[in-house]
Structure 1
Amino acid sequence: MARSSIIAIGASAGGVAALRSLAAALPSTLSAPILVVLHIGAYRSELPALLNAAGPLSAKHAEDGEAIYPGHIYVAPPDRHLIVADGRLRLLRGPKENCARPAIDPLFRSFAESYGPGAVGVVLTGNLNDGTLGLLEIKRCGGVAIAQDPTDADYPEMPRSAAEHVALDYCLPLAEIPKLLVELVDRKGGRDVAMPKNSSQRDGQEPEIIDSRTFERPLTVTCPDCGGALKRFEVGSIVKFGCHIGHSYTAENMAAAQFEEMEKVMRAAVRFLNERAEFCLQMAEHGWDGKPDASNDWHAASKQALDRAYKLRDLVEQDWLTPETSHQLALTLDGYEQTRLPG
């Protein structure tokens, strides 16, 4: 088994106590970085301070683009997925996964892609099954898969799911995991540690989507009227789309209806941003909670919302490509020319 070079840990319910216990048992000489995701949603997190107080390793909230150093604990901040890309930490406000942001699976997937056999993934206490698919990917790439013994976890569902679906290398009580991590990091035998890979090192293959910045093709196109799935069919040479409610469109009408709905949604977003700017400005002007710093924060939030409202409005009002109208115009002109041909 390869010697580990980097550790990622995921936890949910009961995770604060478990992570503090783990941090307390790790030595200051640990020669590997630790990346941590705890399901905290968008709420304020004091986890780095709690881990700093619990053990000798330095803990902090991860920052976008920062380098990764041994002997440090990097915690996913509120409302941001934490991933690894090109040897650095990235923070993304991508879609929620398993109803969570930050979620464990995005970190584990990027972790496996970047470090291969040098990666160690650990799933601790928690409900449901976030972390299972990511741990499976770590295992597939040659890394080490660890789960807390479900019978030892305050909330056993997450580690139980990992144990049921992944060929774990270790399934241990929480008290035994710190010693195992030290042994994996310090082990001298086995293969060399895998180095982080970047996109230029992937043999010309399409890079795996790990940062939620590229959209997958949707499974279907939905109805602009009701949101139901549309079925595509042809009547002679005419392409039509219809949903199970009964709404139907020719291709040209579908494109026009879709564009109209898109513009409506984007203009609604402009309105919400403008209203947020006004709300934050009112809070700043009324001296919310009597703290000068808070007033400055409200002013900054108002300015940010207004700036983004202007940018989105400019985007909506740009010229858009509308091949459906161009095609319809060409057909109309062609028909007009035919009526003028001599008989």
Structure 2
Amino acid sequence: MSDIPRDLVVAGASAGGVEALREFVAGLPADFPAAVLVVLHLPAGGVSSLPAILGRSGALPATSARHGEALQRGHIYAAPPDHHLLVEDGRIRLSRGPTENGHRPAIDATFRSAAQARGPGVIGVILSGALDDGAGGLSVIKHRGGLVMVQDPTEALYSGMPESALARVEVDCVLPCVRMGAELARRVREVVDGDGDDVPSLSLLDQVEAQAASASEYEAMSLPEVVDVMGPSGFSCPDCQGVLFEFDGRGTRYRCRVGHAWTAQALFEQQSQDIEHALWAALRALEEKRDLAVRMTKDAEEHGFTLVANRYRWHQDESSRAVEVLRQFLLDGPAPQDQEPPGRSA
């Protein structure tokens, strides 16, 4: 039997996450005996100001994570833009592996990696964010014996991520951000049983997912590929248009053969955006067709080609009607989320 400390905290946030993270780190004491990894969804370009914001918000130093550096207790490491933040042999590993739900860094990638590396020595924290990012990774932390903590959804600026975590994972604590620091300071001083026989191993599917995020050629040689352990879903990947494979047979998570990962909720939202983009492109094409038909009608009339002019005038009228219908549909937008779809009754 061997005991290990809870010396690694991983926190994930998205929309509304900067405010939540500031309150979160403000409550961590200067003698906090654990390393803290922070993942906030960021655009790929530019330099993140998150480390500076977090460093000013609390007693712990905060820096942008660097590939290969050793984890130190009492230090906050923020995931840099366009890189997954992973843990390997007590060190940070930065990876440009496939995006998850369109994000890199991805919360789930960090959570899975931490759970794989430290087992019950990890505490996972979900803060404000939309959709359901982080719930899958949080379940892996819980499965491996770690603790899981979630921001109270009623105080989160965006409650989607906290609510999804509560729906899918048996959470240990639900607290406002301002109270999380004190609770973590108490929990990280606990020593837990780290005997390998008592800690559940990662499932094969979780190992394959961890492999995809790390983008390691060595690991890719030692594990089966996505296509070998998952069944095709019938859906296509928004990132590469390849086939998406169903993760668990329940239609909640998907991954393509090159590694892009999607939850059902994120996939639905992305498909909705793709459809809207396609409809705006169709509207532009219809307006151009209408305008071209006007010119060709005029040209045919000037040359005395009455039948040709009538044909192009018909195309002009058809395109005009289609433009009117499509523009109205796009401007009206989807029904509000609290409104019942047509034909549905209580």
Band the TM-score falls in, shorter-chain normalisation: 0.5 to 0.7
Asked whether the equivalents of residues 105 and 130 of structure 1 are also in contact (C-alpha less than 8 Å), the reply is: yes
Counterpart for residue 181 of structure 2? 178
Counterpart for residue 61 of structure 2? 58
1:6 partnered with 2:8: yes
Counterpart for residue 116 of structure 2? 113
Residue 7 of structure 1 aligns to a residue whose secondary structure is strand
- CA distance in structure 1 between the partners assigned to 2:137 and 2:49 by the alignment: 25
- CA distance in structure 2 between the partners assigned to 1:206 and 1:157 by the alignment: 25
Counterpart for residue 306 of structure 2? none
- CA distance in structure 1 between the partners assigned to 2:29 and 2:73 by the alignment: 12
Tell me which amino acid in the other structure corresponds to 1:162: A
State the Cα deviation string for residues 6-56 of structure 1 (Å, max 9, x = none).
Answer: 100000011111111112221111010000000012143100011111111
1:73 partnered with 2:82: no
1:27 partnered with 2:29: yes
Distance verdict in 2 for CA 1:142–1:40, change over 3 Å: same
Aligned residues: 215
Give the C-alpha shift of residue 63 in structure 1: 0.7
1:42 pairs, out of 20, 37, 44, with: 44
Identity %: 46
Give the C-alpha shift of residue 228 in structure 1: 8.3
Counterpart for residue 216 of structure 1? 225
1:164 partnered with 2:167: yes
Tell me which amino acid in the other structure corresponds to 1:191: V
Distance verdict in 2 for CA 1:3–1:14, change over 3 Å: same
Give the C-alpha shift of residue 192 in structure 1: 4.6
1:85-96 maps to which residues of 2 (within 5 A)?
Answer: 85-96=88-99
- CA distance in structure 1 between the partners assigned to 2:242 and 2:181 by the alignment: 50
Give the C-alpha shift of residue 82 in structure 1: 0.5
Give the C-alpha shift of residue 193 in structure 1: 5.9
- CA distance in structure 2 between the partners assigned to 1:87 and 1:165 by the alignment: 29
Give the C-alpha shift of residue 212 in structure 1: 3.1
1:105-254 maps to which residues of 2 (within 5 A)?
Answer: 105-187=108-190, 190-192=191-193, 208-209=207-208, 210=210, 211-213=214-216, 214=220, 216-218=225-227
Residue 110 of structure 2 aligns to a residue whose secondary structure is helix
State the Cα deviation string for residues 135-165 of structure 1 (Å, max 9, x = none).
Answer: 0000000000111111111100000000000
State the Cα deviation string for residues 289-337 of structure 1 (Å, max 9, x = none).
Answer: xxxxxxxxxxxxxxxxxxxxxxxxxxxxxxxxxxxxxxxxxxxxxxxxx
State the Cα deviation string for residues 36-81 of structure 1 (Å, max 9, x = none).
Answer: 0000121431000111111111100111111100000001000001
- CA distance in structure 2 between the partners assigned to 1:169 and 1:228 by the alignment: 38
2:101 pairs, out of 98, 102, 115, with: 98
- CA distance in structure 1 between the partners assigned to 2:16 and 2:172 by the alignment: 23
Asked whether the equivalents of residues 41 and 102 of structure 1 are also in contact (C-alpha less than 8 Å), the reply is: no
Distance verdict in 2 for CA 1:212–1:194, change over 3 Å: farther
Give the C-alpha shift of residue 216 in structure 1: 2.0
- CA distance in structure 2 between the partners assigned to 1:116 and 1:54 by the alignment: 29
- CA distance in structure 2 between the partners assigned to 1:150 and 1:206 by the alignment: 30
Asked whether the equivalents of residues 150 and 173 of structure 2 are also in contact (C-alpha less than 8 Å), the reply is: yes
- CA distance in structure 2 between the partners assigned to 1:120 and 1:166 by the alignment: 13
- CA distance in structure 2 between the partners assigned to 1:40 and 1:28 by the alignment: 27
1:274-293 maps to which residues of 2 (within 5 A)?
Answer: none
Distance verdict in 2 for CA 1:163–1:64, change over 3 Å: same
Q: What are structure 1's unaligned runs of at least 5 residues?
A: 196-201, 221-226, 230-343
Tell me which amino acid in the other structure corresponds to 1:25: G
- CA distance in structure 2 between the partners assigned to 1:24 and 1:158 by the alignment: 21
- CA distance in structure 2 between the partners assigned to 1:207 and 1:179 by the alignment: 32
State the Cα deviation string for residues 251-291 of structure 1 (Å, max 9, x = none).
Answer: xxxxxxxxxxxxxxxxxxxxxxxxxxxxxxxxxxxxxxxxx
Q: What are structure 2's unaligned runs of at least 5 residues?
A: 233-240, 244-346
Asked whether the equivalents of residues 9 and 121 of structure 1 are also in contact (C-alpha less than 8 Å), the reply is: yes
Residue 188 of structure 2 aligns to a residue whose secondary structure is helix
**Cα-Cα RMSD:** 2.8
Counterpart for residue 276 of structure 2? none
Counterpart for residue 281 of structure 1? none
Structure 1 segments (4+ residues) deviating >4 Å: 192-195
